[in-house]
Every structure is written in C-alpha cells, then in structure tokens.
Structure 1
Amino acid sequence: NSDDDDNDDTGEGTIDRNMIWFLLSMIGSVIAVVSVLINVLLGALAPMLIQISLIVSPLMFFITFVGSLVILNIPVALFSLVMSIVGIYYACHVWHRIPFATANLKIALSAIQDNHGLWFLAYLYTVKAYVWTFLWCCAVTELVIFSPSWVYDCTSTSTNSSNNNNDDDDDDDDVCHVSTRGKFIAIGMLLSFFWSGQVLKNILHTTIAGVVGTWWFDPEDARSDSSRGNGSSGCFSFSCCGCSRAIYDSWYRSCVYSFGSICFGSLLVSVLQVVQFIVRCGRRQQRDQRRQQRSIEATDFIFCLLQYLVDTLEYLLEFINTWAFVYVGLYGYDYWTAGKEVTTLFKARGWSVIINDHLVARSLLMMSSLIGLITGLVGVLLGLVFLGPLYALPAFFLGLILGGASCEILFGVVTSAVNTVVVCFAESPNQLRINHDPQLSHDLIQAWRKAYPQDCGF
C-alpha cells in the first residue's frame, strides 16, 4: 500500500511539473509566435491581407450558399446568396481605397516602431483591466453569497406548511426575490464595471493619440533611445522599456489634465451599456414567460425596438468617442470641444467619407483569427508533448484564447495609431513631409488622390 501511495504521489508530482512546463512553454510560444507573425503580416503582406479580408467574407457566404443548396435548405441558401452579393458589391466599391488604408497603416507602424514602449503600456493596462475584473467579481460574490440581505428580500415558507407533519418541513427553503435596494445595487455595480473598463481603454487610446501626434509634429521627442541607436541608457532609466519621453508626457496628460473628459465620455457609453444589459435581460425574461404560454406578444416588438435603439446609440457613441479622444490626446481639448472639432474638420474638408473606412479594422480582425488558430495549433503540439493526447483539445482552446487576447491588445494599439494618423493628415499634411521621410508623405497623398479624387484638396 505504501508503494502505491508513493507511486500516486510521484504521478501527481509528474503531472504538476508537466503542467508547469506546459504553461510556461505555452506563454513563451504565444508571445514569440504573435510577435513574429505580427512583424511579418504587418510588413510587406499588409496590402495583400486587406485584399484578402474583403474577399473572404463573400467567399464564405457563397460556399455556405452552395452547401445549403445541396441539402435543399432554401432559406439559408437565399440568405447566404444575398450576403455574398452584398459582400462582392462592398469589395468592389472600396477596392480603390486599399492603397490609402495601406499608407495609413504603414505610417502608424512607423510611429509605433519609434515608440515601441506602447506595446508594454498596452499590456500593462490589460493587466489592470484583469485585476479590476477580479476585484469586481469578488465584490459581487461578497454581496450575493455572503451578504444576501443587501440584495434579497426573503420570506419564510414555514408558516404555509405548519399544518403538515411530514419530515420534509425541515427542507423548506425561503422564497427570495431581488429587493428594490438590490436592483439599485446591481445597476451601480454594472455601471462601475463598464465605466472602469471604458476609462482604462480610453486612457490608453488617448495616450497613443498623444504619442503619435508628438511623433507627427515633433519627432525628436517621440523617439526612444533604442530607435535612435542609443543603447547606453541604464536599466532603471525611463527608456529601458523602449519608452520615449512622449509616452510619459502623453500618459500624464491623459491621467491628469484630460482625465475628466475621458471619464465623462466613458460614462456616456457605460450608461448605454447598462441600459443595453437591462434590455437584454428583459428580453430573456420575456422569452421565458412566453415559453410558459403567456400571451405577451405585444411586448416582443417593444423589446426588439428598444434593443435596436440602444445598440445603435451605443455603437454611434463608441464611434464618436474614438475620434473625439484622438483630439483630446492631440490638443488636450475637453470632451465637447473635441467632438465639435472632429465634426467641423471632416465636414469642412469634405472628408466625412473617410470615417466609413473599416479596411484596416477588417484586416486586423482577420489577422487576429489567423494568429489565434496558429497559436491554438501550437498549444495542441505542446499539449501532446507535455500532457498527452487527452489534453490536446483544451490546449488548443487555451492557445486560441491567449493568441486572440494578445492580438486584441497589440492591434488595439495599431488601430488607435491609424485613427490618429488620419486626423493628423487632415490637420497638417505638410508636417509629415517636413519632419519625416518625404516618401511617406508622397505615398499617402498619392493614395488619397486615388481613393478620394473629388475630396482631395491638394
């Protein structure tokens, strides 16, 4: 028996060691694979990936159409055919804008390359978001499980069964429902969760906008020592992580001078997110009641309309915030002034069409999916090596999640930088030619003339 116990202990120790090696190898491999693939895909392959991102969607819908037609699923086949035609039309309509999107992406990557400490800052804020989510979950657990009197009103059912002499009386539970105070607490907790997440995201976005703006107008302040070829700085200096002075200054402005504007714009979005959550819960409750054969068909349309309105408002406000916070990061405007400046700029120059371009976002999404699949396959390989065949599927999903999360963090930096380049080019196109390689400005202007010949003002 003692030998068996020793074998069991040894087996458990081996599994634990293998699990540790697996996790360490997984994290290291994901970081390495993501870094290499991003450098490759965002380099010379960027134009091709933007083109592929426009082709993949209608192609997949067409394949679905053929497959549905074979199995005689006519509704799905018709829907897939319509979506395929729409995708083809959209691709043909925006195909000439690919060079402009590529030029914007190239300039944004040049700015990030000179300030690669932005990658470190993005991971830091992601860790902050995870820590905040953990603390928020702990607070919710404390309220719901350990302090239920704050949330629930409970009524004992023992009085209703006092005439029964069965032993089952001891098993009767209290009937509890969420109290009015509990509903207000739930709304407050949801608001705090969404608001904090929006603030963290927008601080990073505003900081990136400030850094790219400094790089555009004053490149010497937005260049790390490593990008200058100066490796003499010590490990305890500010530039040891690849951070330039512009990163610290932009981050300080975002967290101090522009913090109120960021919080206000984030609050508007978070309020809509809370309303969106409440409407979705209402629709779910309404479906449950309908399953119990209650005639409440009149509320179906109301909930559907409410969800559509809230979703649309939330999307529009998120879209406005994206560009407004670029101005907040560039010039330190308050939220309302930044929104007005963005609207005035695009209307005055006739560049309103540019905000409809999602080519870069589409290509980055496709890259994220591709990299996620590759890191998932790497996870399968590591799972087979360290843990065995039974862990192959969980290892795939772990690699997929880690790779997708890393891409979301890094590509978020790229998206913010691209948006800032668009605004800076609209504000001062000549500064790019004066302060940087003239070829960058020439390529961007030529691409703009091809994409928007009627709106080009130079």
Structure 2
Amino acid sequence: NQRNHASHHATRLGTTAAVAVAVPSSPSPSSKNQFEIVGAEPPTVSWSRGEVQPPAFRDKWFAIAFLLHIVTVISAVIAFYPNLLSEISANRTDNNADDDAAEDYSDKDNTSDDDNDDDGWMLGWLLTVFSVSLVGAPVLSMLVLGVMSRNAKKLLEGSLIFSIAINVILMVVELVAGIPGGALMHAIMAALLVWYSKSVWHRIPYAASNLKAAVTVIRLNGGITLVSLGALMVLFVWTIAWTVAFTGTSLEPDLMTTKATEHSCDANGNCVEPGDSQLTTLGGILYCLFFLSFYWTNEVIRNVVRTTVAGTVGTWIFSPSEASSFCSSGVTDSLTRSTTYSLGSICFGSLIVAVVQLIRNLLQSSARNRRNGIVSCIAQCLLAFIEGLVRYFNKWAFVYVGLYGYSYLEAGKSVMELFQARGWSAIISDNLVNRLLSICILVIGLLTGVASTIVSFIFEEAEHSDNGILLPGFLTGFLIGMVMASLVLGVVSSAVDAIIVCFAEAPGEFKENHPAIAQEMQTTWDAAWPTVDFNGVAMVSLDGGIGIV
C-alpha cells in the first residue's frame, strides 16, 4: 500500500522543468524599481520538483543513536531509581519523625471522619474541574476551527486590531497608574503594530485562503489531533523518566559530585567550603549529555508531529480520497513514515537544534557566575539568532521530509533550491496566522478557566464554606484549556507551511483536485500582488517565518 501510494504520488510530482520565477506582468517603472531596490532582476532557473522517495530508512545512524540514547536513559532510571527513593524516604523521616512520635491515636479517631469527608469533597471538585476543562477546551477548539473556515479573513483582521487595542489599553492604564516607562513602551508597540497592520493588510485575503485550506485538512483528518495528543503524552512520560534518571544519577555518590575537603575560590570569586558538593569532570560531561538528551527528545517529538501533518496535507492535496476521514490512511501512513523511514532525518535535524540550544543555555548559566558577562551575552544573542535560523530552516526541511520522504540533507537542499528559484526578490515576515492562533488559544484558556471558576464557586456554595479554591480552579482550567487548545490549533500552523510548499511546487495538481480552494488562492494572490504574475513559484510565510515572493 505504501509503495503504491508512493508510486501514485511520484507520478504526479516526479518531474523536472525549467521554472520561471515570479516576474512583473509588464515592465512598468514601478516594478523595475522594485527589483532595483532589492538587487537584480530575478533569473530563470532550472528547478527539480519534489519526487516521493521509495520506502527506505534514511539517515538511519541518527535514528540508531537516538534509540540507543533512549535505552541509556531508561537504564539510568532502572539503575539509579533506588537513590531517589532513598532520598525521598530520608526527607520524610526527618520531617515527620517528631510529629509521628507525639501523635495520639484517639485524636486520629476523632478527626478521621472529617478528613475523609474533606478528601472526598476535594477529589470530587478536582475531577469536575478536570472534566470540564478536558471536554470543554477541545469542543471550543473545534468550534473555533469551524469559525475560521468561514470567517478567516475577518478573524485575521480582528487579530491585528485586537493586538493594537490591547497595547493602547495597557498604555492608558499605565499612564493612570503613574508608570510612564511602561506607557511609553506600549505606545511604541501600538504605533509599530499600526504600521505593520497597514503594510500587511493587503496580504490578509491570501493568508486567509491558506488558513482556510489548512483548517479544511485538519477538520477532514481529525486524527492529526490525536497524534498531537499522543505526542504530548509521550513527552509527559519522557519528562518524568528523564527527571528520575537525572536526579537518581546526581545522587549517586562520587559520580557527578564530590565533597570539597578544603576552602577554595576560583577566578570569578566563587568559593567552596569544606563539605560542599562540587561538580566533577565526569559530572559536567553527564550534565551536558542529560540536557542534550532532554532537548533532543523534545525536538524529535515535536518534529514527528510536524512531518506527520505535512505528509497528511500532501496526501490530501494529491490523493484526496486517501485523506478525507478522521483516521484516514493519509494520517496513519504519514505517522508510520515519520516514526520509521524518516525518523533518522527527524533525529538529524533535531540534534542540530538541540546542540545549539544546549550551548546557549550553558552560556547563560556561565554568565550568571561571571562578573563581566558582556562577551557571554553577545555569544548568547548570536546563538539565539542561529537557533532561530536553524528552527526556521528545519520547519521547511521537515515539510519536504513529510511530503516526499527525503533525507535531511536532501530536504535541506530542496529548501535552498526552492528559495533560490524564487529569486529572493523580496523577504517578508508575516505572523498573521500565528498571531490569530495564539489569541484563540488564549481565549479558549480563559473561557475554560472561567468555567472552572464557576464550578469551584458551586462547590463552595454547596459546602457552605470558603476553602479558597476559586483561584486554583481558574488556574487549573486555564492551563488545561491552553494545553488542549494548542493540541488542536497548533497543527494548523504546520498545515499552512505544507500547503504553501505544495501550492508552490504543483499548482496544477492542486487546482485539479481542489479547484475552489486553488482558485481562491490564485485570486487573492493577484489582488495582493497585482504587478506580479504568479506562476506557481511564490513562497509567502504566513505563520511567523520568513518567506519568499
């Protein structure tokens, strides 16, 4: 089935052609000046369109290394878990020894019924709050997707107006409160947002057409949200396992730390007294490896979801019948490829981000212990910039991995060829879609928080008591609502990326299988850039990254 799908997909996409970049429809003075400003006239280049690869394990050594590291962490959990139990037991013994010895059994008997009643009441409250949040947030998220599919343009416009209004309100509040510095900052932010909104307003219809296409894919293939939920559960379990392994290993005597035997100070004035714990050389290495493990695994889990979404979008565009149900073959096949044949490529790209992230965090930690950290601060800023570039590059590379099954380097080469083929005639940074999604996630979190607060109030009234659970109830509902909403709406951003690439690579096939959506994207493109002739070669990022026109 996978080979047949690859063959069918490759038949549609496996072509190589000379592709003309987007050029002005007529050599008008305005369009000529546009190209003079950014550089040279965009050339006509040969560009090989993507081709679905036959099933094979790519970048397999990175997948093997990743799986071996997972086994190592699990082994550390098994080996050093007793250390953690001993530490917890010792702390409990120290804290409760006196109280346990003085406790009277008759007092226990008198208060046991009240304690049981309180425990039952609290458990009922927690279960109700969790149920309301876990059910309410996904329902609200699906309603939001429905509203997006019908009112994407208005919502994108509203998100910009909302951002401006929030800054204006904060500016006024801070002026009244006598905080001129904060008021000035929000005034500047509001002015910048007004300028930004004016400059991107004409792009909103095109952004809306991409957003509607992405929402259509997600609603037809709801199983993608289950993949996202599964990734969250895996990440949760992994975080617990990693914490146990790291803590248990750090408690192993003379492995990561040793006890200082004399007073000493380093060049930065940090002193160690006899008996203090200090990090060993092996401990420093293990510390770095543990945190590299955490960052790497986190990136791999996130990127598995991204490539799965990209593969599902590609199936929907080129083989609609295979991606038109909740748990369609498009979803399951894409997830299978992401966790098998493409796992090595995902691990490769994720490792690069993890290494940069580790180095940046080590520099941050080092800067806290230095009196003069200017050089370290500059290095941190540089690494943060590099990390952003790598993440941006990976975002598009993993779209190619998910669509075609390329190795990581092949996907990266395709990304660069795609960008170069577009001529780099203009670089824009639109965060229209991400801004809207963030606002929607925040609103859903607030609504579930309010619902949980109402539940808490009802419980307090029923018990005729004030247990101070209103704020905890709101925070619990808010956090659960935010997490659940991000699971559903977060995949929309990845879907937008994949749609942009597919429409750029194969506009003909897109129009053949989805004529209404393709026509809307074509029309809104022409309205946004009337002097540029669209030939299926335009890259416009609508979710916070850099795109090419």
TM > 0.5 fold call: yes
Structure 1 position 314, deviation (Å): 0.7
- 1:194 paired residue among 295, 302, 307: 295
Distance 1:16 1:370, change over 3 A: closer
CA deviation map 1:227-282 (0-9, x unaligned): xxxxxxxxxxxxxxx21112222122222222211111000000011112112212
- Give the secondary-structure state (helix, strand or coil) at the position aligned to 1:153: strand
Alignment of 1:12 onto 2:105: no
- Provide the rounded CA distance (Å) in 2 between the counterparts of 1:389 and 1:47: 45
Match of 1:45 among 144, 151, 167: 151
User: Which residue of structure 2 aligns with residue 291 of structure 1?
Assistant: none
Task: Assess if the C-alpha contact under 8 Å between 2:306 and 2:399 holds in 1.
Answer: yes
Q: Secondary structure at the match of 1:390?
A: coil
Q: Is the 8 A contact 2:235 2:298 kept in 1?
A: yes
TM-score, normalised by the number of residues in structure 1: 0.84
* Residues 1:96 and 2:197 are matched in the alignment: no
1:128 lines up with 2:234 in the alignment:
yes
Partner of 1:250 in structure 2? 334
Out of 323, 346, 362, the position equivalent to 2:435 is: 362
Look up the equivalent residue of 2:356 and give its one-letter code: L
With 323-332 and 67-76 compared, the bigger mean Cα shift is at 67-76
Between the aligned partners of 1:332 and 1:10, the Cα distance in structure 2 is: 57
Cα deviation 1:342-378 (Å, max 9, x = unaligned): 2222332357757622211110011111111111111
Per-residue CA shift, 1:313-366, capped at 9, x if unaligned? Answer: 111111111111001111111212212212222332357757622211110011
The structure that is helix-richer by fraction is 1
SS of the residue corresponding to residue 42 of structure 1 reads: helix
- Residues 2-38 of structure 1: CA deviation (Å, up to 9, x unaligned): 8834532442353244235424533444345434542
Q: Separation in 2 of the partners of 1:352 and 1:249?
A: 37
Tell me the residue number matched to 1:118. Answer: 224
Letter in 2 for 1:360: V
Cα distance in 2 for partners of 1:40, 1:124 equals: 23
Deviation, 1:214, is: 1.0
**Residue in structure 1 matching 2:420, options 329, 347, 355:** 347
Aligned to 1:60: 166
Specify the alignment match of 2:260 in structure 1: 155
Code of the aligned partner of 1:433? K
Superimposed CA distance per residue, residues 291-326 of structure 1 (whole angstroms, 9 cap, x where no aligned partner): xxxxx4xx3321221111111111111111111100
Matched, 1:138 2:222: no
Q: How many Å separate the matches in 2 of 1:99 and 1:113?
A: 21
Separation (CA, whole Å) in 2 of partners of 1:304 and 1:151: 28
Query: What is the aligned partner in structure 1 of residue 376 from structure 2?
Result: 303
Q: Which residue of 2 aligns with 1:238?
A: none
What is the CA–CA distance in structure 2 between the aligned matches of 1:187 and 1:352, rounded to whole Å? Answer: 42
Residues 65 and 78 in structure 1, CA contact (< 8 A), matched pair in contact too:
yes
Q: Which residue of structure 1 aligns with residue 520 of structure 2?
A: 443
The DSSP-based 3-state class of the residue aligned with 2:369 is: helix
| Distance verdict in 2 for CA 1:148–1:48, change over 3 Å | farther
273-282 or 337-346, which moves further after superposition? 337-346
Which has the larger displacement, 116-125 or 251-260?
Answer: 251-260
* Pair 1:10–1:180, CA change in 2 (3 A): closer
Structure 1 position 93, deviation (Å): 0.5
What SS does the aligned partner of 1:434 have?
helix
> What code does the residue aligned with 2:152 have?
A
Superposition pairs for residues 212-361 of structure 1, below 5 Å?
212-224=313-325, 242-286=326-370, 296=371, 299-350=372-423, 356-361=429-434
C-alpha contact (below 8 Å) 1:265/1:321 kept by paired residues: yes
The unaligned stretches of length 5 or more in structure 1 are 159-171, 225-241, 287-295
| 1:81 matched residue in structure 2 | 187
Normalised by the size of structure 2, how large is the TM-score? Answer: 0.71
The answer on 1:401 being equivalent to 2:502 is: no
For residue 149 of structure 1, give the secondary structure of its aligned residue in structure 2: coil
Cross-structure match for 1:371: 444
Query: What letter is aligned with 1:398?
Result: T
How far apart are the structure 2 equivalents of 1:208 and 1:326? 9
Instruction: Supply the AA of the counterpart residue of 2:525.
Output: W
State the one-letter code of the partner of 1:400. Answer: F
Q: What are the superposed Cα offsets for residues 71-111 of structure 1, whole Å, 9 maximum, x if unpaired?
A: 55443333332222111110100011111111001111222
Aligned-pair identity in percent equals 35
RMSD: 2.4
Q: Cα offset for 1:64?
A: 3.3
Aligned to 2:509: 431
Q: Which runs of 5 or more structure 2 residues have no equivalent in the other structure? A: 1-105, 264-272, 461-465, 536-549
Q: Tell whether the 8 Å contact from 1:18 to 1:386 is kept in structure 2 after alignment.
A: no
Amino acid across the alignment from 1:212: V
Q: 2 CA distance for matches of 1:6 and 1:183? A: 49
Deviation at 1:406, TM superposition (A): 1.1
Q: Is the 8 A contact 2:213 2:499 kept in 1?
A: yes
Q: Provide the rounded CA distance (Å) in 2 between the counterparts of 1:246 and 1:70.
A: 56
Distance in 1, Cα, partners of 2:207 & 2:511: 18
Aligned partners of 2:121, 2:178: CA distance in 1, in Å? 50
- The one-letter code matched in structure 2 to 1:260 is G
- Given candidates 169, 175, 188, the residue that maps to 2:276 is 175
In the comparison of the two structures, how many residue pairs are matched? Answer: 415
Between 116-125 and 20-29, the greater mean CA deviation after superposition: 20-29
Counterpart position of 1:162: none
Change (3 A) 1:11 1:118: same
